[in-house]
């Protein structure tokens, strides 16, 4: 039969978890994660745009510019969005995700109406998820519940 590993009494009373990574690693992750996601997004957008054809210089430039814009907007969102009220916080995340998905779809040759409809659908779903998450993890004044 398996048993839980023993923990020091002070850790139990504090109710805290062990943080494996140092503050330096957390600061580095605030930059590394958006850059990595931006590179994936830029590669995906460039691949959609070339329709399986050869990689050209303009295609590479488009991919890197798309990655740069995505990473910068994501970093700004991660820095500024937590300071907003829960409703606006959910709207900002929903708009970001909807615009990102709609843009990717538009690069694959879909019509602007279909990409807009897909973006709005994603936006509605992300808004519902994020609003629920923020609503259940904050008190009425917008402070995180501990």
**Does 73 reside within a domain?**
yes
DSSP structure string for 32-97 = HHHHHHHHHHHHHHHHHHHTT----HHHHHHHHHHHHHHHHHHHHHHHHGGGS-HHHHHHHHHHHH
Domain limit, last residue, from 83, 111, 129: 83
Q: What is the pLDDT of residue 50?
A: 87
User: Residue 60: which residues within 8 A CB-CB, separation 6 or more?
Assistant: 46
pLDDT band for 16, please (50, 70, 90 cuts).
low
One domain for residues 60 and 100: no
Q: Is the pLDDT of residue 105 over 70?
A: yes
pLDDT tens for 63-90 read 999 999 999 999 999 999 888 888 898 9
Q: Which one of 83, 98, 115 terminates a domain?
A: 83
- Dist CA 127 CA 99 (whole Å): 13
Tens of pLDDT along 27-75?
A: 888 899 999 999 999 999 999 888 878 888 999 999 999 999 999 999 9
């Amino acid at each position: 039969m398996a048993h839980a590993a023993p923990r020091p009494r002070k850790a139990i009373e504090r109710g805290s978890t062990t943080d494996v990574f140092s503050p330096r690693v957390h600061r580095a992750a605030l930059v590394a994660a958006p850059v990595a996601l931006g590179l994936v997004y830029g590669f995906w957008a460039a691949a959609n745009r070339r329709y399986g054809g050869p990689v050209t210089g303009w295609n590479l430039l488009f991919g890197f510019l798309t990655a740069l814009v995505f990473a910068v907007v994501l970093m700004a969102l991660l820095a500024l969005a937590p300071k907003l009220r829960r409703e606006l916080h959910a709207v900002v995340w929903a708009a970001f995700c909807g615009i990102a998905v709609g843009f990717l779809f538009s690069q694959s040759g879909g019509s602007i109406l279909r990409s807009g409809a897909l973006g709005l659908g994603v936006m509605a779903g992300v808004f519902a998820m994020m609003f629920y998450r923020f609503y259940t993890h904050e008190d009425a004044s917008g402070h995180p519940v501990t």
